[in-house]
Copies of this chain bind each other. A is one copy, B any other.
Amino acid sequence: MIDSTTSASSATKKAVTCANCNLDNLCIPKGLSRSEVGELALLVNRNNIRQKGEAIYHAGSPFRGIIALRSGSAKLLSFDSNGNELVVDFILPGELLGFDGVSSQIHNCTAIALETVNYCHLPAYKIEILAVNTPGLTQVLMQRSCDQFDAQVQKMMLSRRSAEERVACFILHISDRLSMRGYSELEFRLSMSREEIGNYLGIAHETVSRIIHLFQARKLIEVKSKQLKITDKKGLINFYAN
């Protein structure tokens, strides 16, 4: 019904579709009825792959639709008038991207894979088709786009805090987002470089290094290259919440 297999059962193993995707509580389908999800599944392009460093879309290219990361992570970049990169956001598995192209129908950000990614793609023209038959979708998309707004407010909060507080908050934020989709909340891999973290947080990459070192000295975390382990979550929280 939906995939290369002939079975129409939603329990089919090999055919990954919206109905049996393990991201269904995080992705667009959350909040949709079963029949609406079915309709959505018909229109989604699945199994798009990009290798590390490759672009998912470029700033200046036409908006083609909303994208859901199934695995791997990515960074969202903008560029200032001098061509300097600004890391706008990191996108983790199960999260959506593409909203930077909705308003003007031209992307003003570039999305780059930080590691091999597999993503689903809901084409723009199909969104309109869907909107007619599935009123729920409109609201879900609206919610997701406004999620971004909430996230940006949080980000503004950070810009008012010290470098140490920013890094603590960054680590905890990544932890929360990963645990929400079933990964370990205390031990994970930071797929982005110190440079990219610093760019994102608005501090120099040397400062990121120094602070990570400091956190280790205080027994809050353990770091080995990109692998990170939170050993004192409360300590980290107290660090920026006081």
Contact = CB atoms under 8 A, between A and B. Distances in A.
Interface of A: 78, 80-81, 86, 88, 99-100, 102-104, 108-109, 128, 131-132, 135, 138-139, 141-150, 152-153, 155-157, 159-160, 202, 241
List the number of copies, as a whole number: 2
20 contacts: A78-B153, A78-B157, A81-B241, A86-B156, A86-B157, A86-B160, A99-B149, A100-B150, A102-B149, A131-B131, A131-B135, A131-B138, A138-B142, A142-B145, A145-B145, A145-B146, A148-B149, A148-B152, A159-B159, A160-B202
A146 B109 contact: no
A160 B81 CA distance: 13
A231 to B, nearest CB: 23
Contacts of A241: 81
A202 B159 contact: yes
Query: Which residue among A132, A146, A159 has the maximum number of chain B CB atoms within 10 Å of its CB?
Result: A146
Nearest to A131: B138
Contacts of A88: 153, 156
Q: Which 4 A-B pairs have the closest CB atoms?
A: A102-B146, A152-B152, A103-B146, A103-B147
